[in-house]
Amino acid sequence: MKDEDVFTYLIGGKAGEGVKKAGTAATRFFLDLGRESFQMNDYQSLIRGGHNFSVVSTSTREVYSHHMEVDLIVNLDERSRDLHEEHLAKEGIMFYNSNDSGERDQGLGLPLDEMAEEYSKPDLIKGVAGIAVLAACTGMDKKGLEDMIKKEYSRGVEENLSFAKEVYKKVGENIDETFDLKKGKTHSTVITGNESLSLGAAAGGLDIYIGYPMTPASSILHFFATHRDDLNIMSIHPENEIAVANMAVGATVPGARVMVGSSGGGLALMEEAISLAGMTESPILFVLGSRPGPSTGVPTYTEQGDLHFALNQGHGEFPLIVSSPGCIEEAFHLSNMMLDLVWKYQTPGILLTEKHLCESSMSVDIDMKKFEEGVFKTEKADEDQDDYKRYEKTDHGISPLKYPPSDDLIKWNSYEHDEMGYTTEDPDMISEMHDKRREKNETLILDLKNINCVNEFGESTPIIFTYGSTTMSVREALISGDIDAKIVQPLFLNPFPFWELEEYIHEEVIVVEQSSTGQFASLLREKCRVKPKEVIRRYDGRPFEPARLAEKIEEAII
């Protein structure tokens, strides 16, 4: 059943036709109306051709994920028409490129190829048609259309305006009524998950971002490079992922806060350096943006198949902090917190997320009251301290940090070492250093017990466990399906917050995840003996669609 509180707009076409740009412009249009929005971009790993679409769901209430029962569809080519006509809502309107699709019984044809031929960039300008259609179908006047085109398509604005007005006029002549979109009261902004986690890290004192482009983490590098001067953060693009991780280890020695990002294939190349960071006690935050694997997999789509991979990074034993944000706003706070944590505990950490969160856009209003800079304070050595020991044994396992320049010897070592950092093969010292690193992990657990490590939404049964970006889909599904349930979402996956989940040991729970083997369900059984009644899985590279997910949840409840 369609959620009547939600209006959904979709534009589809080939790569290079301005599909994503039109979706972004639509999202900003809804934001100007004071409405909440969620934008999801679906694209193939192609620069030109193939099939792309952008879908935006908007409401006066919060929208946590996109819907695929669409009120207004604009198809720029025949393939889009064939793929998306099944997504049209009962009272929806669909437009298609009649030059490419031919005349059809369903929908309204527009001769977009013919109209675009008059302009200097006929392929790219077709995306502007999507905005002109949206303007006409929502009752925007010509002045509003002109203002929006000038704002969103400032390059070649005269041609864009001319084409948009031509499409707007044709649409107006062929529709009897328009969609009435109620104005909302939001004053939020729209950002992607990658932008959110980048800003959170920046607010946490990030000094350097090092990355090698790999979807869906590539846009983090682009973001920091674009805003280098605004944020005063250095962005570095080395020759490969191995160089990325090793440079990050080196950058921590003089005290630089460093974050790196990649997908599963890139992190696999970084794995040895993650162990290096574990031994040298280097505080580095790794962002793992998951996509379907193994190997190259499906590069531009989403999945949660890297959970076990993230939890078991590195050879040997050392503390590894793994967390996963459940929405775009949470990505800001969690990346900020993770930077503090890895620095306090002088150990690597992984912020695990997925393409659905990384590249989707959502209206957010960052609550800075939740943001407390330096919640987890770094242990710094007294400058006057004599005989500084880089790996000094302490009651909590955390050694005080000192940075060059200094009169003291500061020795970081990848080999097993003594407190000073000198290489050792002495059995007693080897055991003591293992104990030291293990003690850090025990102290970390005590620290985490003092903060919220699990989100809960709702009070009713059934109980639904999920994590990461799938949380957005589940939250939207419960609203869409009018289902009373309780969502339980662990923020931290290692150490796993079993102390907050013990109450669910004897409960019948439903698990929702995007893994073919049920990795999250296995983790729940292993860490806190929670035995799922049902595991709802999707692993075709696409995020859950709320209405279909609501149906699956209702089936699992029965």
The pLDDT tens digits for 155-164 are 899 999 999 9
Q: Which of 173-182, 211-220, 443-452, 474-483 has the lowest mean pLDDT?
A: 173-182
- pLDDT of 352 reads 98
Is the preceding peptide bond at 405 cis, omega within 30 degrees of 0? Answer: yes
* Mean pLDDT computed over 6-17: 96
Spatial separation of the C-alpha atoms in residues 508 and 17, rounded to whole Å: 49
- pLDDT of 385 reads 67
Query: Do 145 and 168 meet the contact criterion of CB atoms below 8 Å apart?
Result: yes
53: closest CA among 18, 27, 95? 18
For the entire predicted model, the pTM comes to 0.95
Tokens of 26: 């639509």
Percent of the chain with pLDDT over 70: 98
- Full set of structural domains in the chain with CATH: 7-174 (3.40.920.10), 190-370 (3.40.50.970), 378-450 (no CATH), 454-557 (3.40.50.920)
Residues 6+ apart with CB under 8 A from 300: 43, 44, 45, 215, 216, 291, 355
Distance of CA 461 to the CA centre of its chain: 28
Spatial separation of the C-alpha atoms in residues 262 and 277, rounded to whole Å: 17
pLDDT in tens, 521-555: 999 999 999 999 999 999 999 999 999 999 999 99
484: closest CA among 513, 457, 521, 509? 457
Percent of the chain with pLDDT over 90: 88
Kindly state the DSSP code that residue 544 receives in the 8-state scheme.
Answer: P
At residue 54 the predicted structure's pLDDT band, cuts being 50, 70 and 90, is: very high
Higher-scoring residue by pLDDT: 48, 337: 337
Query: Do 45 and 301 meet the contact criterion of CB atoms below 8 Å apart?
Result: no
Q: Which of 146-160, 364-378, 440-454 has the lowest mean pLDDT?
A: 364-378
- pLDDT of 47 reads 82
At residue 249 the predicted structure's pLDDT band, cuts being 50, 70 and 90, is: very high
- Look at residue 51 and give its three-state secondary structure: strand
Burial 447-486 (b: 16+ CB within 10 A, else e): bbeeeebebeeeeeebbbbbbbbbbbbbbbbbbbbebebb
pLDDT in tens, 369-425: 665 555 677 777 776 667 899 999 999 999 999 998 888 889 999 999 999 999 999
354: closest CA among 404, 290, 310, 409? 290
Spatial separation of the C-alpha atoms in residues 545 and 137, rounded to whole Å: 25
* Mean pLDDT computed over 294-306: 96
- pLDDT of 131 reads 97
- pLDDT of 183 reads 93
Cβ–Cβ contacts within 10 Å for residue 73, how many? 27
